[in-house]
């Protein structure tokens, strides 16, 4: 992000009855912080995601579809937009893995796998429940030497985590053009710069011969996008498909869309789930 230019703040107006689910969806997009302002009849939620209105608009529109809320962009001073960083700390995923913002010092007794992330203008600091669940599921399914595809990679948390867990390589794809540079920087920051990379390539363009190219495919995105991408996710998965971005009480329709892959495991974290599906 260009810290000398104005940043975009997403402002969502909603009723108190849907504040929790709207907040969850904003967190799942990688919000560093969400400010809540109470009004007479509505609640206003504010969060900064980056400086690319086209990309942010696409993500936010998808996340908030069907909730009956209004949202808009506002331009904010970059110094104000970056204040959230002082409130973010290390995220403990489990006894082995943590995710640490690049500006935060290591813990006195760091986890064996300490994923260091600078999100820049991308989605994904690694602190949302869906990311934590995805990392735990990847820990369960990764085998030494695996080739991994991370769909909607954002800042590269899952791809980098997969390689640190033993995968040979991790390729990320994202519609956000900034992801390529951010993932490259984060990969180098974690010592895996030659094994993790990202691009804006479409899934259709990956191995058009129809070969199952990746041992493990991970996609931490919302249900409508998962269903839309289902044919390509199925085509590219050789062994395990890891999905998240799904509420614990609402994921069967996504499982149904992934047939003939079958559900193998469900891992719930704070009301969200990560799923593993196998051939």
The per-residue pLDDT for 84 is: 63
Which element (helix H / strand E) includes 25?
helix 19-28
- Arithmetic mean of pLDDT, 154-173: 97
Q: What is the mean pLDDT of residues 140-161?
A: 96
Token couple for 194: 């030659």
CA-based nearest residue to 190, from 93, 92, 102, 85: 102
Would you say residue 208 has pLDDT above 80? no
Q: Is the pTM of this model over 0.75?
A: yes
- What are the structural domains of the chain? 7-85 (3.30.70.120), 88-278 (3.40.50.150)
**Nearest CA-CA partner of 219 in 207, 205, 231:** 231
Residue 265: the pLDDT is 98
Q: Are 71 and 64 in contact (CB under 8 A)?
A: yes
Write out pLDDT tens, residues 83-100: 667 778 999 999 999 999
Of 34, 32, 35, 22, the closest CA to residue 63 belongs to 22
pLDDT, one tens digit per residue, over 165-207 is 999 999 999 987 888 999 999 999 999 999 999 999 999 999 8
Section 40-44 average pLDDT:
85
Indicate the angle between helix axes 19-28 and 53-64, nearest 10 degrees.
Answer: 140
- The confidence score (pLDDT) of residue 55 equals 77
**Dist CA 208 CA 211 (whole Å):** 8
């Amino acid at each position: 992000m260009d810290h000398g230019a104005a940043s975009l703040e997403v402002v969502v107006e909603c009723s108190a009855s849907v504040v929790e689910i709207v907040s969850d969806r904003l967190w799942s997009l990688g919000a560093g912080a969400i400010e809540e302002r109470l009004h007479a009849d509505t609640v206003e939620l504010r969060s900064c995601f980056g400086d690319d209105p086209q990309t942010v608009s696409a993500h936010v529109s998808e996340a908030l579809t069907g909730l009956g809320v209004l949202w808009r962009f506002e331009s904010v001073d970059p110094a104000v937009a970056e204040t959230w960083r002082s409130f973010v700390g290390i995220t403990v995923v489990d006894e082995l893995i943590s995710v640490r913002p690049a500006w935060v010092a290591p813990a006195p007794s760091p986890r064996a796998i300490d994923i260091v992330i600078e999100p820049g203008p991308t989605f994904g600091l690694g602190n949302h429940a869906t990311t934590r669940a995805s990392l735990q599921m990847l820990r369960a399914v990764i085998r030494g030497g695996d080739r991994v595809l991370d769909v909607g990679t954002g800042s590269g948390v899952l791809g980098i985590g997969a390689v640190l867990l033993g995968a040979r390589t991790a390729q990320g794809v994202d519609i956000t053009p900034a992801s390529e540079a951010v993932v490259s920087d984060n990969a180098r920051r974690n010592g895996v710069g030659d094994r993790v990379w990202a691009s804006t390539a479409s899934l259709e363009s990956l191995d058009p011969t129809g070969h199952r190219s990746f041992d493990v495919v991970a996609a931490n995105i919302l249900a409508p996008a998962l269903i839309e991408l289902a044919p390509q996710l199925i085509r590219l998965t050789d062994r395990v498909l890891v999905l998240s971005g799904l509420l614990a009480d609402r994921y069967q329709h996504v499982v149904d869309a992934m047939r003939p892959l079958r559900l193998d495991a469900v891992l719930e974290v704070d009301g969200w789930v990560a799923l593993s599906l196998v051939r």
